[in-house]
Amino acid sequence: MRTSHAVADAPPPLPEGPSATGSHPAPATPGVRTRSQHQRRRRIVQAAAALASRGGVEAMQMRTVAERAGVALGTLYRYFPSKMDLVVAVVGEEIDLLESSIERRPPHAAHPAGRAVDVLMRATRGLMREPELADALIRSLIMAEVEAPFGDRMASLLLRVAADGRTVNLPAEDQLALAGSLSGVWVQELLEMLRGRRTYEQIQHRIEIAAERLLAGF
């Protein structure tokens, strides 16, 4: 499947002046959004994910997302100026779910590599429940021209889990680079699995090898 932000719908022109906001005010900055704004944003993200899970990013037409979420098209564009912004939000939601899972059930492996592998394979299982969505999200992020904090968030999560509160005798920049490299290996292996070139067991074996090498200094 080929995905590209180039297929995103062009946002409708909005009139200037007070009428530009329509019946919904523009969202407040994060941290001061009202409950209704949070709920509306979440509804939009869930609608986009549901559409992508059945037809990839191509199915995430902005008008269709707005209709499914029950919001005006102009409101949708004020929350998410482009389809790629919406894709990034869906990915953020997936990472939020992963982090919640880690908080509820922290990895208990004795070694940093084992804890990191636990996180990555847990993420793999979660994504592969909706392979169409996983394929759409990962391919789109690779091609994204908007800021996509996916890699940084995964690297930070791996670093936190691997260190497990202990002092690591490596510069912080090196720690993040190693965790980021492991996250990159996982993304590539996941793409191979989505293409039918890897089994789950093969991915786990390769990630275990990469984790043992990359996190040896932990």
**Domain edges within the chain:** 83-215
**Model-wide pTM > 0.85:** no
* pLDDT at residue 95, rounded to an integer: 87
The answer to whether 151 touches 184, Cβ cutoff 8 Å, is yes
Residue 143 has a pLDDT of 66
Q: What is the pLDDT of residue 169?
A: 85
Instruction: Kindly compute the dihedral angle of the four CA atoms of residues 5, 10, 16, 19, in this order, to the nearest 10 degrees.
Output: -100
Top-level class of domain 83-215: mainly alpha
Per residue, the 3-state secondary structure of the chain, as one string, reads CCCCHHHCCCCCCCCCCHHHHCCCCCCCCCCCCCHHHHHHHHHHHHHHHHHHHHHCHHHCCHHHHHHHHCCCHHHHHHHCCCHHHHHHHHHHHHHHHHHHHHHHCCCCCCCHHHHHHHHHHHHHHHHHCCHHHHHHHHHHHHHCCCCCCHHHHHHHHHHHHHHCCCCCCCCHHHHHHHHHHHHHHHHHHHHHHHCCCCCHHHHHHHHHHHHHHHCCCC
CA angle 161, 30, 5 (to 5 degrees): 80
Q: pLDDT in tens for each of the 218 residues of the chain?
A: 333 333 333 344 333 333 333 444 444 444 446 888 899 999 999 999 899 888 877 888 999 999 999 999 999 999 999 888 888 888 888 888 889 999 999 998 999 999 999 999 999 998 888 887 788 777 766 765 556 667 788 899 999 999 888 888 889 899 999 999 999 999 899 889 988 999 999 999 999 999 999 999 88
Query: 84 with 5: CB under 8 angstroms?
Result: yes
